[in-house]
Amino acid sequence: MRKTTLAFWCLSSLLSAFFVSWASTAAAADGASCTSVRMADPGWTDIDATNAMAGVVLKALGYRQTVQNLSVPITYEGLRKGQIDVFLGNWMPAQAPLVKPFIDAHALDVVQANLTGAKFTLAVPDYVAAAGVHSFADLARNASRFGGRIYGIEPGAPANQNIKKMIADKAFGLGDWKIVESSETGMLTQVSRAVREKQWIVFLAWEPHLMNTEFHLTYLSGGDTYFGPNYGGATVNTVARSGFTAECANLGRLFKQMTFDVTIENQMIARVLRDKASLETAARQALSAHPTMLEKWLDGVTTVKGTNGLQAVRASLDAH
């Protein structure tokens, strides 16, 4: 009788533990309104990469990711209006003036920093640096060689606004210079042409990006007032529409834990731009190669159906 009672007690304890664990996991899953995740991409290669990695994970968990190509200002309006759920590209401090009114109005939530060790400021090819251009203060006296132009990215981008403010302030003697606004691709095409012909050019540069290995470039010092210290040393934040992480707690947990790495992003971008891999293929390769990163992302995260999220993503990666 004593053995039977002990066996029954052990079985009951195991069953109780199982059902508590199952109920806890199931409860973590989000409701039907959270199954579609709307994200934004300004057309930047680094955000292409991070969106792709997020997309692979979301799909394996049973969510549907949609990505809209939107400028940064329109992205923040979309978050304010509840038309976008998550944006992985809040570069700080470059976007500080643009995003502050939305934060102050509680129109969006800063979820967490997803990347540290990034940088974003003006740069020149190494042969220009070798000729004596190392800082913002060196630009004006070489105006004729640069054509009085600074090459930026898409119109409306916060970094372009910083350059415009610098010109408007007549900082560094650049009051009569002009910014050439284009897309990321258009700007880098111009850089490539200039490098090929050994022409002088100054342009927006950042890391992570393939440009850091494709071109021998030198980041300019002295632009702290407009791009921040440490050569525009940047932190990239994940931001979400107001209330999103509370409404969709499982997704909220995922995005709070989703952090990236400069080296991993550089490698992924190289696979896409240099090796011509698809974004999804490069994302799957990056995630498979860094299981510890994936474990951190998916700690306590479930699938849409409430099952183990890490197991589901691993199975999906193994199947491809």
Per the document, the length of the chain is: 320
Whether domain 33-116+234-319 has CATH 3.40.50.720:
no
**pLDDT computed for residue 26 by the predictor:** 39
Which residues have C-beta within 8 Å of that of residue 243, sequence separation ≥ 6?
109
Which residues have C-beta within 8 Å of that of residue 303, sequence separation ≥ 6?
29, 60, 61, 62, 309, 312
Both tokens assigned to 243: 């209330």
Q: Which residue has the tokens 């003697």?
A: 173
Both tokens assigned to 172: 């560094």
Query: Cis before residue 93, ω within 30 degrees of 0?
Result: yes
> Ramachandran region of residue 8, left (φ > 0), alpha (ψ -120 to 50) or beta?
alpha
Measured from the Cβ of residue 10, the count of other Cβ atoms closer than 10 Å reads 10
Global pTM value: 0.80
The CATH class of the 118-232 domain is alpha beta
What are the boundaries of each domain within the chain? 33-116+234-319, 118-232
**Pair 276, 287: CB distance under 8 Å:** no
The bridge status of strand 64-69 relative to strand 178-180 is unpaired
Q: How far apart are the first and last CA of the chain?
A: 54
Per-residue pLDDT of the chain (320 residues), as tens digits, is 444 444 434 444 444 444 434 334 434 466 788 999 999 999 999 999 999 999 999 999 999 999 999 999 999 999 999 999 999 999 998 899 999 999 999 999 999 999 998 999 999 999 999 999 999 999 999 999 999 999 999 998 889 999 999 999 999 999 999 999 999 999 999 999 999 999 999 999 999 998 998 899 999 999 999 998 999 899 999 999 999 999 999 999 999 999 999 999 999 999 998 899 999 999 999 999 999 999 999 999 999 999 999 999 999 999 97
Q: Do domains 33-116+234-319 and 118-232 have the same CATH topology?
A: yes
Orientation of helix 279-289 relative to helix 45-61, angle to 10°: 70
**Pair 86, 51: CB distance under 8 Å:** no
DSSP letter for each residue of 229-297: HHHHEEEEEEEEETTHHHHTHHHHHHHHH----HHHHHHHHHHHHTS---HHHHHHHHHHH-HHHHHHH
**pLDDT computed for residue 2 by the predictor:** 40
**Pair 35, 62: CB distance under 8 Å:** yes
